[in-house]
Amino acid sequence: MSSNRKKSPWAYDETGIQCPNCQSIRVNRILDNWAMRRGIQMFKCAVCGKKFYDRNVDDYRPTYNR
């Protein structure tokens, strides 16, 4: 990867991410319009299917957008 891509906010190290539901490390990053507009990374567990936010992100999401 070039040095310019490593400086991108979307070049994210996913090695330490675990599912908060089942503790699996089989996690994929997903593109969610609500989260992308706010600059938040979202992930989906490949085992249980739970969607969750990046670390240290407030768990607020409008009910009309679920």
pLDDT in tens, 6-33: 566 666 667 788 888 899 999 988 888 8
Structure tokens at 17: 């991410």
Give the mean model confidence (pLDDT) for residues 46-65. Answer: 71
Q: How many CA atoms lie within 13 A of 31 on its CB side?
A: 1
Task: Spell out the domain ranges in the chain.
Answer: 3-57
Contact present, 42 and 54 (Cβ < 8 Å)? yes
Query: Which amino acid is it at 22?
Result: C
Instruction: Determine the average pLDDT of the residues in 50-54.
Output: 85
